[in-house]
């Protein structure tokens, strides 16, 4: 295929409620969608959509929103326009001279992949080799102002039927909140916590207190570069250690597994450079008996649909952060929002990612449109 045009639709979508982690509080989702037009060998012109997941500032990863857009406009797009043949499988090779910038690369690969599959009339789930029609829907709960608020918010999501609860934690908002949730909802609730690298190995004795509460896992307790220290912490805790920020590639996943730093891996396609690299990590983890689950970055319906298909692969044995669109947005940008029912989300079956961007909603939320010249 030949890349004909690339557009970046910058959008801002208000959240239904603030979402607080150990590194930031978000009240709106600011992101951009990549719209790519490609011409097939038969002369058909097809459009695909990708979504960037970088945050406004470099607090989750080295990348940030404006930086990712700049990298696409000034480096990635020209390289793709210059290529004679562009497919999802070759995007990574074409862009390999650009170091890092996984989220920028993932967004353009995603748009190419969507267009390629639409041209073939094939669903993303079929392309990946998905084995399920639905995936369990977990929900991520931000840090609350009080223990009582934590219990109240989680109770609301349990009433809605979510299959698993993940609670964000940080020093000063951790053990007491976890203990209160277990007291209120019992030991059978599938429950895990996410520290987003808020602790150091010095906090090991404190973190061990979480072992009392039968958690599914503790996600990324230490810094993103601290794979060795995560391996040390794993020796001290009974709660399984899950890595998120530390796993930026299949190579990093393999290193973490061999060092004993990860009993579980959270796979976020944007963080690792795209859905094809995400599948490689799934395959490596599955071969080593390591559980994986699909994390979320407050995606719109575009990314949410793609994540549902990824989570339908056989190695995804734990519920992911694939909530319904209404968890974060009163109104999504796709014509059919992703809906949670009976604790699950349906895996889309239409061509490409199986969802359509609503042009009116996109225009309403759009703050800037950038046409990148070929």
Helix, strand, coil percentages for the chain (3-state, nearest 5) = 40, 25, 35
Of 29, 105, 166, 268, the active-site residue reads: 268
| Residues 6+ positions from 237 with CB-CB distance below 8 Å | 204, 207, 208, 210, 211, 218
CA dist list (Å): 42 to 32, 87, 119, 205, 329: 30, 15, 10, 63, 39
Tokens describing residue 11: 């959008």
Q: Is 268 a catalytic residue?
A: yes
Task: Give the residues across from 242 on adjacent strands.
Answer: 219, 264
Distance separating alpha carbons of residues 180 and 164, to the nearest angstrom: 17
Q: Are 303 and 124 in contact (CB under 8 A)?
A: no
Distance separating alpha carbons of residues 351 and 49, to the nearest angstrom: 12
CA dist list (Å): 111 to 121, 194, 297: 15, 30, 17
CA dist list (Å): 127 to 160, 287, 309: 32, 20, 9
Q: Are 318 and 264 in contact (CB under 8 A)?
A: yes
Beta strand spans in the chain (E): 2-20, 25-39, 45-51, 134-136, 138-141, 164-168, 191-194, 218-219, 241-243, 264-267, 291-294, 340-341, 344-346, 366-372
Q: Are 63 and 102 in contact (CB under 8 A)?
A: yes
* Radius of gyration, alpha carbons of the chain: 20
Beta strand spans in 244-317 (E): 264-267, 291-294
Of 2, 166, 168, 235, the active-site residue reads: 168
Q: Is 168 a catalytic residue?
A: yes
Provide the 8-state DSSP code for 97.
T
Q: How many CB atoms lie within 10 A of CB 84?
A: 6
Catalytic residue positions, numbered: 168, 268
């Amino acid at each position: 295929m030949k890349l004909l045009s690339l557009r970046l639709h910058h959008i801002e979508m208000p959240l239904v409620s603030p979402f607080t982690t150990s590194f930031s509080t978000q009240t709106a989702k600011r992101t951009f969608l990549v719209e790519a037009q490609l011409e097939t060998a038969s002369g058909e012109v097809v459009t695909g959509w990708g979504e960037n997941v970088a945050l406004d500032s470099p607090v989750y990863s080295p990348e940030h929103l404006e930086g990712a857009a700049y990298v696409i406009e000034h480096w990635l797009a020209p390289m793709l326009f210059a290529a004679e043949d562009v497919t999802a499988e070759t995007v990574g090779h074409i862009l390999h001279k650009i170091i890092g910038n996984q989220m920028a690369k993932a967004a353009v690969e995603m748009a190419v992949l969507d267009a390629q599959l639409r041209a073939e009339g094939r669903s993303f789930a079929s392309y990946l080799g998905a084995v399920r029609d639905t995936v369990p829907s977990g929900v991520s709960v931000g840090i609350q102002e009080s223990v009582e608020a934590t219990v109240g918010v989680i109770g609301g999501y349990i009433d809605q039927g979510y299959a698993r609860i993940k609670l964000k934690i940080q020093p000063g908002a951790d053990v007491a909140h976890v203990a209160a949730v277990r007291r209120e909802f019992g030991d059978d609730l599938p429950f895990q916590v996410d520290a987003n690298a808020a602790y150091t190995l010095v906090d090991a004795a404190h973190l061990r207190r979480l072992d009392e509460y039968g958690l599914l896992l503790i996600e990324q307790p230490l810094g993103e570069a601290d794979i060795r220290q995560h391996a040390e912490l794993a020796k001290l805790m009974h709660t399984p250690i899950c890595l998120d920020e530390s796993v930026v590639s299949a190579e990093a996943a393999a290193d973490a597994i061999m060092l004993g730093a990860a009993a579980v891996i959270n796979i976020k396609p944007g963080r690792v450079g795209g859905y094809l690299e995400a599948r490689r990590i799934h395959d490596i983890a599955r071969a080593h008996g390591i559980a994986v689950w699909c994390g979320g970055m407050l995606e719109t319906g575009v990314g949410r649909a793609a994540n549902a298909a990824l989570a339908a692969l056989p190695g995804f044995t734990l519920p992911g952060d694939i909530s319904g669109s209404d968890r974060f947005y009163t109104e999504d940008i796709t014509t059919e929002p992703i809906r949670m029912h009976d604790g699950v989300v349906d895996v889309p079956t239409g061509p490409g990612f199986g969802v359509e961007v609503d042009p009116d909603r996109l225009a309403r939320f759009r703050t800037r449109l950038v046409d990148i010249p070929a």
